Amino acid sequence: MRGKIQLLAGAFLVVLMAAFSASAQAVSNSPAVDEDTETRLVDAKVAEVTDGRISIFARSGVEHVIAINNKKTVVTIEGQTVSLKDLREGDVITVELDEKNPVKFAKNISLKSTQEQVARVRH
């Protein structure tokens, strides 16, 4: 009788460990919201803004040149849509790239809110 209980307890322990191991792997394989991915650059610093592109430095220090367009690129500060003209050198942004576009093209740009950027929205 005691051997059966130990066998069942051992089997239950193996099943329990397998379940926790699978869930831990699933969590570690999914990128966190604040991590860079192939189509998203988080907390990048704007180095240059022109009519057709922006130059940014990712947190890794790598510079990216990304195409922008007044009609297709949406820029937001605290959820409010603003003009691309409100994007300035030194801003810290998150860029979502258009994965269907063969060129690095910014689909969405959201600025980290600072007091200066909030003032831009309210003008």
Which tens digit of pLDDT belongs to each residue from 73-83? 999 998 899 99
List the domain range (segments joined by +) for residue 76. Answer: 40-115
Our count of domains for the chain comes to 2
The rounded distance, in Å, linking the Cα atoms of 92 and 112 is 6
* Residue 123 domain flag: no
- Whether residue 92 is found in the same domain as residue 53: yes
Taking residues 37-60, what's their average pLDDT? 95
Please report, as a single letter, which amino acid is at residue 98: D
- Whether residue 110 is found in the same domain as residue 69: yes
Taking residues 37-52, what's their average pLDDT? 94
Structure tokens given for 69: 């367009």
